[in-house]
Amino acid sequence: MSSIIQLLPDHVANQIAAGEVVQRPASVVKELLENAVDARSTDIKLIIKDAGKALVQVIDNGLGMSVTDARLCFERHATSKIRKAEDLFSLHTKGFRGEALASIAAIAHVEMKTKQDQEELGTQIIVEGSKFVSQEVAVLPKGTSFAVKNLFFNIPARRNFLKSDTVELRHIVDEFQRVALAHPNIYFTFYHNGSEMFNLPGSSLRQRIVNIFSGKTNQKLVPVQEETEIVTIQGFVSKPEFAKKNRGEQFFFVNDRYIKSGYLHHAVMAAYDGILKDGAQPSYFLYLTVPPNTIDINIHPTKTEIKFDDEHALYAILRASIKHSLGQFNVAPVLDFDRDSNLDTPYHYKDLKGATPTIQVDGSFNPFSDDKVNKHYSSYKKPEPTSNWESLYVGLKQDSEFSTGSADFSFESEEVTGSLFNDGEVEQTVHSAYQIHKKYIVSSIKSGMVIVDQQRAHQRVLYEQFLINMTVNQASSQQLLFPLDLFFSSVEMELIEELKLSLVNTGFVFEETKKDHIVISGIPVNVTESEVSLVLEQLLSDLQDGIPESSFSQNDSIAKSMAKSLAVKTGTPLTVKEQENLVNGLFACKEPNVSPFQKPTFITMRVEDLDKKFAI
């Protein structure tokens, strides 16, 4: 009987390994950027074409590699940081020219150029699908350049599973931002299809955050600093009023490595307990430094998850340090019942001394002397008698409009009536709709009654209105007296640029669009000025996984998002008129039975059903 188990060829094994390491172009970006950082580079350039599907290139000015290292880095299990098994639990670098390069070379065309500073000539190597095509000596600048072209060229199925260019670019930007935030001292530049997306000179951590996430970010940052035997924490958190709907600007770094941790995120949210709105997410950029032997970073292939030795202590320290920072900078409310703010000394009186009052005494004054009395009160004049007061009214006409004759006055009757209104004039008001628990609207119909969910019903009404406006291009706008300046990150600005035409069709008027903010001079009639930023934030959050390619699907997504943001919420009291308008508007829709998210908007109860409830 022939053997069933056999060894796979190297090229097949490399492709399987590539499936674990390289899931999308962003995976290649992560590996190459981290390698460039470990090469002690001070200037790193990232060049992308077609969202990484055509080209991912990373150029650095680091140490470079020798001829032997340049060839060995494409071999499987090649690494520069591990010599024995114990090294797995004491890692200080991200990886130097190895590990994933063999996997990347198995599924793409790779061109590498590298040169060490002390060498006169460098090495150029071309690999296509794990096959070495050429290795030549070349005149090169110091450092290394990796160009990964035609990703997944030999695995069409994997290439077909890639998302749209917008989604893939967003993942690349996420990886770029994580590496750039972890190393603010390195100069990073990012180009996509020939246009510059990021230009980040080496700077302080705060300035790096501001450079990545627009100029307004500086206003919302609160510094966090704590040093203990277990962990050293530094970084920034945002003020509660700047919290957003999405979780985009939330970063944890452990020993300069980006990680994801739901447990640590819960500690941050616990520190904000009581000062955030429901569903709001604060921004944070937190850097934790712990001894390498107290963590295990190899529990996940992408190394974005870490296991800590003492998670409970880390949780408590993190929550306490953030609470302390929020209170220290007067962001969180402080209760002090012994302090009366009315007794606080104003700043401009703080260092002033009270003036000593002066007293002047007239020693010659005698209150019982007639001369003194005449002297001191000589200026006093006794009022003349007003016996001829009648002369004051001489000349007034008797027929004047100011006449005070008794004939000009009329007095109301003081007769008390039996009731406030006449019985014939009392009209009984009958409401056709009632609100229950500020959530449901009950209205009578011929066969019984209908119970409407006010939030879902309003979502359906708004959804169809927005969809009609975008389809017919007849949306009306209300002009703002003062234009709104709204700041967004570069990724969010890319999304807004793609959605701009559809937003204009809903009623938005864009006066100006800049690199990091937009100026809005007009908004849809059913949107208030205070709701504009909330609507756009919700829209960007809903579409962060990608914008549909077709215009109809794009309009549909925008209409759903805006309807969800603007619909009346559960717990909002409505007047009788508003209840009636909402019920009438719902049943005037094309599909009143379900909300835009396919949930029922109302239920009906027949009189017969009610009779059965009361039957004995």
pLDDT of 387 higher than 70? no
pLDDT of 453 higher than 90? yes
Q: Which residue has the higher pLDDT, 161 or 142?
A: 142
pLDDT of 114 higher than 90? yes
Residues 494 and 511 in one domain: yes
pLDDT average, residue stretch 59-79 = 83
For 507-546, what is each residue's pLDDT tens digit?
888 888 877 788 999 888 888 888 888 888 888 877 766 6
Lowest model confidence (mean pLDDT) among 110-124, 257-271, 350-364: 350-364
* Tokens (6 digits) for 226: 């704590």
Whether residue 412 lies inside any domain: the answer is no
At residue 88 the predicted structure's pLDDT band, cuts being 50, 70 and 90, is low
pLDDT of 551 higher than 70? no
pLDDT of 266 higher than 80? yes
Q: Could you say which of 200, 218, 237 is where a domain stops?
A: 200
- What is the predicted pLDDT for the residue at 455? 92
Dist CA 441 CA 435 (whole Å): 4
Residues 194 and 230 in one domain: no
Classify residue 389 by its DSSP letter: G
Beta bridge partners of 43: 187
* Tokens (6 digits) for 317: 């320290």
* Tokens (6 digits) for 14: 């490399």
Q: In sequence order, what E strands does 205-289 have?
A: 221-227, 232-238, 250-254, 257-259, 284-289
Task: Say which residue the tokens 């014939």 belong to.
Answer: 424
* Tokens (6 digits) for 52: 């990484």
- What is the predicted pLDDT for the residue at 614? 87
Q: Could you say which of 177, 200, 223 is where a domain stops?
A: 200
Residues 185 and 283 in one domain: no
Residues 191 and 275 in one domain: no
At residue 609 the predicted structure's pLDDT band, cuts being 50, 70 and 90, is confident
Return the CATH number at 577: 3.30.1370.100
For 171-202, what is each residue's pLDDT tens digit?
899 999 999 999 999 999 999 998 888 899 99
Overall number of domains in the chain: 3
Q: Which residue has the higher pLDDT, 387 or 265?
A: 265
Residues 51 and 165 in one domain: yes
* Tokens (6 digits) for 159: 């290439």
pLDDT average, residue stretch 463-492 = 82
- Cα-atom radius of gyration of the chain, to the nearest Å? 38
3-class SS of residue 50: helix
Boundaries of domain holding 324: 205-328
Whether residue 65 lies inside any domain: the answer is yes
Task: Say which residue the tokens 């504009």 belong to.
Answer: 532
Whether residue 418 lies inside any domain: the answer is no
Average pLDDT across the chain, whole number: 79
Residues 447 and 538 in one domain: yes
Whether residue 292 lies inside any domain: the answer is yes
Dist CA 31 CA 73 (whole Å): 13
Positive/negative CA dihedral, 188, 192, 196, 198: negative
pLDDT average, residue stretch 54-59 = 93
Which runs of consecutive H residues, i.e. helices, occur in 341-404? 370-376
Classify residue 349 by its DSSP letter: G
For 559-607, what is each residue's pLDDT tens digit?
888 898 889 988 889 888 888 899 989 989 999 999 999 999 999 988 8
- Among 583, 298, 595, 287, smallest CA distance to 452 is for 583
Dist CA 151 CA 156 (whole Å): 10
* pTM, to two decimals: 0.70
Whether residue 337 lies inside any domain: the answer is no
For 389-427, what is each residue's pLDDT tens digit?
566 566 555 554 444 444 455 555 555 444 444 444 333
Residues 122 and 256 in one domain: no
- What is the predicted pLDDT for the residue at 424? 43
Q: Which residue has the higher pLDDT, 337 or 367?
A: 367
Beta bridge partners of 442: 434, 451
Classify residue 232 by its DSSP letter: E
Residues 194 and 312 in one domain: no
Lowest model confidence (mean pLDDT) among 201-210, 301-310, 554-563: 301-310
- What is the predicted pLDDT for the residue at 383? 55
For 270-296, what is each residue's pLDDT tens digit?
998 888 877 788 889 999 998 887 777
Whether residue 613 lies inside any domain: the answer is no
Residues 167 and 48 in one domain: yes
Dist CA 143 CA 44 (whole Å): 10
pLDDT of 343 higher than 80? no
pLDDT average, residue stretch 51-58 = 92
User: What is the percent of the chain where pLDDT is above 70?
Assistant: 76
pLDDT of 348 higher than 70? no
Dist CA 426 CA 419 (whole Å): 11
At residue 86 the predicted structure's pLDDT band, cuts being 50, 70 and 90, is low
Lowest model confidence (mean pLDDT) among 161-170, 315-324, 334-343, 483-492: 334-343
Cβ atoms of 462 and 526 within 8 Å: the answer is yes
Dist CA 478 CA 522 (whole Å): 5
Residues 29 and 121 in one domain: yes
- What is the predicted pLDDT for the residue at 333? 55
